[in-house]
Amino acid sequence: MIAITEEDFNIDKILKDAKHPDNGAIVTFLGIVRDDGIVGMEIEAYTDLALQELDKIEEEALERFDIRSLDVIHRTGTLSVSDNILLIVCGAPHRKDAFAACEYMIDELKKRVPVWKKELYKDGAGGKWVGEGTE
Q: How much of the chain, in percent, has pLDDT values that exceed 90?
A: 84
Average pLDDT over residues 96-123: 94
Count of residues making up the chain: 135
How far is it, in rounded angstroms, from Cα 92 to Cα 95? Answer: 7
Contact indicator for 109, 45 with CB cutoff of 8 Å: no
Question: Band of the pLDDT at 37, cuts 50, 70, 90?
Answer: confident
pLDDT value for 131:
65
Instruction: For the chain, give every domain's residue range.
Output: 2-121
Q: How many other C-beta atoms are found inside a 10 Å radius of the C-beta of residue 100? A: 18
* CA 16 to chain CA centroid, nearest Å: 18
Minimum mean pLDDT among 6-10, 34-38, 48-52, 75-79: which range?
A: 34-38
Look up the pTM and report it. Answer: 0.90
Average pLDDT over residues 47-64: 96
Calculate helix-pair angle for 47-64, 95-112, nearest 10 degrees. 150
Question: Band of the pLDDT at 132, cuts 50, 70, 90?
Answer: very low
**Assigned CATH for 2-121:** 3.90.1170.40
Contact indicator for 112, 133 with CB cutoff of 8 Å: no
pLDDT value for 53:
97
pLDDT value for 135:
46
For residue 104, give the DSSP letter. H
pLDDT value for 121:
87
Question: Band of the pLDDT at 128, cuts 50, 70, 90?
Answer: low
* Per-position DSSP letters for 37-89, written without gaps between them: SEEEEEEEE-HHHHHHHHHHHHHHHHHHS--SEEEEEEE-EEEETT-EEEEEE
